[in-house]
Amino acid sequence: MNDFGFDPLDPVVWQNPWPYFARGRDEFPAYRHQDTLARSVSVFRHEDVSAILKDWETFSSSSPADMNEGGLGELASLMAEDPPEHTRLRDHVRGAFSLAAVKGYAAAIERLADEILDELLERGTFDAAADYAGQLTARTILTVLGLPASDWRRIREWTVRGAANVTRSHFVREAEPEADRSVEAIFTEMAAYLDGFVHQADALPDGSLLRSLVQAAPGADRLSPRELRALAALTLLAGNETTTTLLAGAVLTLEQRPNQARALRAEPELAASAVEETLRFRPPVPALPRRATRNLTLHGVEIAKDDNIVVWLASANRDQRVFSEADQFDIRRGLSPQAISFGRGVHTCLGMPLARLEGRIGLERLYRRTRAIELLEPSPPLVLAPGVYAFERLPVRVTP
Ligand code: HEM
């Protein structure tokens, strides 16, 4: 009966997972992976994905004590916690990422996008993922935290390598001690880097996120240095490769469909709507992991306490039971409230307003300032990482 064989770590599957998702939704709505080291079940339908994400009591974000929490170890933070601890941590950063707070960054992001484009348009040929989207998002998030924007290459390297690890452990068939050690080394380096700033918070720019977290009002529930470092690391990791993938994914999806690219160039105000459609059509976070807290049965599949459940947002967003013409990319579709690209429930993405703003400005500036964008690889290779649908590279040639 199990002839489905969906393996997200197979490069051929990962390059084009959409037919697998369609079959998963129709024939294997809950699918137990065979031969994986961890006991993992993938879930494909919109209705199930949404329900699981909302039910944190049955589907926990924390890992069993004997497992390395999502590979983050000492840097694990609110994303790997359940309420009430999750609520406490989230309350500290909620305000900093609100729509109102984030609007204040718009002018700075616009300046940054133009500064980066000045150089790239001069060059003519560049990597739209690393050189444009990656640079824009890394420098933005460093600025928000109050860290030196000039460190962006280092941060980018850490986040790219870190992102490749997310959700991977659910699908591997053999232990990968060397890869695990290399990821651990990144997180150790990153922790040391962040510690330096946490211990000298007075030197950080006024109003920056990290400084305000460190200098919480006396008497308030203060975060420990370990919690501060982990929150800063989470913000860097969660806000970087995801937003890069959104912007780069928009460019790729548009340029693969010349009529859509023409529509955006004719009306750059459509950028916000194009960002929403990219989020639905090609969500940067295609899958999220959870852990069952009790035995249950889903679509006939028996799930034991502590089994891993991987919900596929990328599949939910193409579910024809919910979206009309789900496989069509149409930048005029605009916001799809049913899309699950930023998650659901208590862990819904904190950086959502910032990601949308960066995506909109990054796309609009690029299309306003170019007459044509040519994809130098029509189907660029993707990083083999079930947690982020990211690019190895996205080489383009532009005509200013
Ligand atoms: C297009 C870009 C982005 C996408 C697609 C995205 C997606 C997501 C998703 C799906 C979750 C839910 C995780 C879960 O339920 O386990 C999440 C959580 C989170 N995101 Fe984002 N994200 C993006 C950008 C950002 C940015 C720019 C930041 C910060 C600056 C950020 C910070 C966070 C944080 C802190 C969490 C954890 C929230 C919690 O556990 O309560 N994200 N994100």
- Per DSSP, the three-state class of 298 is strand
The pair of structure tokens assigned to 249 is 């994914």
pLDDT bracket for residue 70 (50, 70, 90):
very low
**Separation of 118 CA from ligand 1 center, angstroms?**
30
- Predicted confidence (pLDDT) per residue in 349-391, tens digit: 999 999 999 999 999 999 999 999 999 998 999 999 899 999 9
The pair of structure tokens assigned to 118 is 């000045």
**Spatial contact of 320 and 330, defined as CB atoms under 8 Å apart:** no
Best of 167, 315, 349 for a ligand 1 pocket test (most atoms within 8 Å of beta carbon): 349
Q: Which residue, by CA, sits nearest to atom 14 of ligand 1?
A: 347
**Spatial contact of 158 and 189, defined as CB atoms under 8 Å apart:** yes
- Predicted confidence (pLDDT) per residue in 88-147, tens digit: 888 888 888 888 888 889 999 999 999 999 999 999 999 999 999 999 999 999 998 999
- Predicted confidence (pLDDT) per residue in 290-331, tens digit: 999 999 999 999 999 999 999 999 999 999 999 999 999 999
Residue type, position 150, single letter: S
The residue assigned the tokens 């649908």 is: 389
Q: Is the omega angle on the peptide bond into residue 84 within 30 degrees of 0, that is, cis?
A: yes
Query: CA nearest 305: which of 313, 317, 296?
Result: 296
**Separation of 352 CA from ligand 1 center, angstroms?**
7
Query: How many residues are given for the chain?
Result: 400
Lowest mean pLDDT among 17-31, 199-213, 323-337: 199-213
Distance between CA 331 and CA 114 in Å, rounded?
A: 23
Domain ranges of the chain: 11-399
Whole-prediction pTM? 0.95
Q: What is the pLDDT of the chain when averaged over all its residues?
A: 91
pLDDT bracket for residue 55 (50, 70, 90):
very high
Task: Report the CATH number of the 11-399 domain.
Answer: 1.10.630.10
Q: Which residue, by CA, sits nearest to atom 6 of ligand 1?
A: 342
Residue type, position 240, single letter: N
**Separation of 237 CA from ligand 1 center, angstroms?**
9
Distance between CA 339 and CA 322 in Å, rounded?
A: 9
Q: Which residue, by CA, sits nearest to atom 21 of ligand 1?
A: 349
- Exposed/middle/buried for residue 114 (C-beta within 10 Å: 0-12, 13-18, 19+): middle
Strands (E) across the chain are located at 30-32, 40-43, 59-60, 125-127, 287-292, 296-298, 301-303, 308-312, 372-375, 395-399
Residues with CB under 6 A from ligand 1: 61, 78-79, 90, 141, 234-235, 238-239, 242-243, 246, 284-285, 288, 341-343, 347, 349-351, 354-355
- Per DSSP, the three-state class of 38 is coil
